[in-house]
Structure 1
């Protein structure tokens, strides 16, 4: 039939009554297509993408670094406390009723030892003697080093270790023998113990029989020169009153024993006794470090927000620069949803690059710090997952408006500006 032929009844060409051809449907984009199209937009602007991703990476690296360093420090603290023991309690004299210095009774050790939950008890007592490298050093130049009388079971009670020599025993505690703390040995210029190594203590020479390792739980011991209890009473005028009583108790009974130690050590004047737990000092120091970590974490969050603004700025500029591309794609059948998905995918990919880079950078910072401090590296999985998740949320929010703007751009207007 010719197109010019008319129908007998209507007088119109038959082709005018045919239904219009169906509009071609836009091809559906699978996940791989979305990633490919989004990635092509990023590859076209590498420097801008790098700078925007860097802003995200710095924020995430700061957050991962703070969490990782804090977690590594906490893990190291827990290991050290487990090695040193959290069941050590220290009893010391406080102030008397008239404001003077109180004394612990000489029987306080025996009374504390009678508590069923107590495992070990030992003590130190202050003396008025000073220690010098030799007898030619002026009296005024003592260097602030203290001489204390020590019980032979002190080492086991406090969990200290020796770097050289031996600890005081039943024999050496009665003779002029001394064990130096780490700081005292360093200040006196002594690096090893032996019969030929002597220091001037009181009015005579004392042989250095041992050197203590630094004690983190009781750092005051590092500046002490410790002699036997008996020789301190005979040679140094020691009055026999203990000034620090160290008590190891059962882990499950620390709180109960701590509550009654004062009354046990000095039943007559329990209010003149101070009872402390040295491990609490380390825990307090860690709490102080956590405050600083919280501040740094907040700064990391601000950096992440700034990085999100950078992503939004990049995507807005990208939409303005690619109006002709958007108009061409729309004229070829791309739907608004596909345009919106394309630009949103670009924003998410850009943020993901920054997030992954930031996590890797944060882990690297944590490893470097932990290695420098001699600690184990611990980076929680939740922190890494949360870091990447945060970047995706930031990227989604930052890219939503540019993607919506690109999808609403009319094809004719977009092509007219090309």
Structure 2
């Protein structure tokens, strides 16, 4: 009686060596196959990375322009009279958790003229405001010339003029003098136009201590400017009125987030959708390339398949060999594509002056997805190789 034959089993190390036969013996074809998936993954990394870098640049610009800026100012009562903010408003608003920066301007009783010979009624529509030293930082405003108020100059008779104020007063450069609050003030700087706070364009700004001591300011904030976390702007807006004036929250005017906030959200969603769409197309192309290469590989290696089947290899072992070859090519291509894509993102972002941003999920998902796509693409060729008849395969070879 013939003893029963034992079923042969391949150890993982043996299976790995078999899987490397194709890539090792057909280096050119394997390299081209890996290159196909590598280009697909590189395209995914490049598209996501460049889009993410562009998105980071765009969102930073939108935030800089004021999508996260909130203005809190006095509201009006039933008789349309302004209701001043409480003296604690600025401090209370700075205590809101998502608020990142707070600054303010305050009203004064002073007027500004070119000199003491100008009639008092010819104010030119200009105002004199007390200003905090961090006003420019919070508003992201800039100076056209000169210097801003600092801790040393905020107690001195110096002023910074808005661009329109300087034009109306005939001031062309820092160092000139204007008549402000009944005395001569030195112009320390001139502001550049600022779309976020156009009211500063027609103002003469002086230091807070100087305004309180000599210009009739009462020390309370007339307008408070807040910079909030971009994702928490609506939350801050909802509580700003009650925080600034708990006794009469309806008497506080809280600016609505700029239309830039809506543009920020739309830009983020549009770019994300574009990235996902292009990434899907690139992966599909890479998968089709691997499937095509593996099918051709099965047809060319029918003799090898027939010989292995004749020597006792089971169909599952043949399928595992070809499937492993596809996975190895996918992994190699995925890692190569990750490196190439990351370098492309870095070079392009640096050339454009953008922040370099390669999403972490693409770094992890790139090789993983390439292996998955390669495995799916290799299933049909592997099953076709496993189902080949030994005699037919040897005859066709």
Q: CA deviation at 1:407?
A: 0.9
Q: What is the rounded CA distance, in whole Å, between the counterparts of 1:53 and 1:408 in structure 2?
A: 27
Do 1:66 and 1:293's aligned partners in 2 also have CA atoms closer than 8 Å?
no
State which drifts further: 52-61 or 296-305: 52-61
Alignment of 1:20-169 (within 5 A): 30-40=14-24, 42-46=26-30, 48-49=32-33, 52-62=36-46, 64-65=48-49, 69=53, 89-92=70-73, 104-105=82-83, 107-108=84-85, 110=87, 112=89, 122-123=104-105, 149-153=128-132, 155=134, 159=138, 164-167=146-149, 169=154
SS of the residue corresponding to residue 246 of structure 1 reads strand
Q: 393, 398, 406: which is aligned to 2:385?
A: 406
Tell me which residue corresponds to 2:175: 195
Task: Please give the root-mean-square deviation of Cα atoms over the aligned residues, in Å.
Answer: 5.5
| Residues 39, 346 of structure 1: 8 Å contact kept | yes
Q: CA offsets, 1:75-109, max 9 Å, x none?
A: 979xx89xx9x7x74124789999xxx7745x436
Q: 1:228 and 1:372, CA in 2 relative to 1: closer, same or farther beyond 3 A?
A: same
Any idea what the Cα deviations from partners look like across 1:341-367, whole Å, max 9, x if unmatched?
A: 221122112222332123223322443
Separation of aligned partners in 2, 1:213 and 1:357: 49
Tell me if the contact between 2:85 and 2:221 (Cα under 8 Å) persists in the aligned partners. Answer: no
Residue in 2 aligned with 1:338?
317
Show the counterpart of 1:289: 267
Inter-partner Cα distance in structure 2 for 1:157 and 1:277: 21
Q: Counterpart in 1 of 2:376? A: 397
1:321–1:384 Cα change, 3 Å: same
What residue number does 2:160 align with?
A: 178
Give the match for residue 139 of structure 1: none
TM-score scaled by length of structure 1 = 0.61
Which blocks of at least 5 consecutive residues in structure 2 are unaligned? 96-100, 112-124, 179-183, 208-217
Query: Could you say if the C-alpha distance between residues 120 and 364 of structure 1 is closer, same or farther in structure 2, counting changes exceeding 3 Å?
Result: closer
The 3-state SS of whatever aligns with 2:304 is helix
Cα 1:283/1:364, change in 2 over 3 Å:
farther
How far 1:51 moved relative to its partner? 5.2
8 Å contact 1:55–1:304 — kept in the other structure? no
Q: 1:67 to 1:407 in 2, by over 3 A?
A: farther
Change (3 A) 1:104 1:342: same
Which segments of 5 or more consecutive residues in structure 1 lack a partner in the other structure? 1-17, 130-145, 200-204, 231-239
Cα distance, 1:244–1:41 mapped onto 2, change above 3 Å: farther
1:90 aligns to what SS in structure 2? strand
TM-score calculated relative to the size of structure 2: 0.63
Whether the aligned pair in 2 keeps the contact of 1:193 and 1:211 (CA below 8 Å) is yes
Deviation at 1:155, TM superposition (A): 3.3
Residue matched to 2:214:
none
* Residues 299/22 of structure 1: CA separation in 2 closer, same or farther (3 Å cut): closer
Q: 1:320 to 1:223 in 2, by over 3 A?
A: farther
Alpha-carbon separation, structure 2, partners of 1:104 and 1:288: 36
SS at match of 1:166: coil
- 1:8 matched residue in structure 2: none
* Cα contact 1:55–1:310 (8 A) shared by 2: no
User: Relative to structure 1, is the Cα distance of residues 374 and 44 closer, same or farther in structure 2, using a 3 angstrom cutoff?
Assistant: closer
Deviation (angstroms), 1:259: 3.3
Counterpart in the other structure of 2:298:
319
List per-residue Cα deviations over 1:254-302 (Å, max 9, x = no partner).
Answer: 578513268679x6xx767531376x87765543332123222222122
Structure 1 residues 114 and 155: CA distance shift in structure 2, 3 A: closer
Of 199, 204, 226, 1:227 maps to: 204
Post-superposition Cα deviations, 1:205-229, rounded to whole Å, max 9, x if no partner, equal 99652256998xx844698364137
Whether the aligned pair in 1 keeps the contact of 2:154 and 2:206 (CA below 8 Å) is no
- What is the DSSP-based 3-state SS (H/G/I as helix, E as strand, rest coil) of the residue aligned with 1:415? helix
Distance 1:369 1:184 in 2: 43
* Structure 2: distance between partners of 1:309 and 1:184: 67
Aligned length: 345
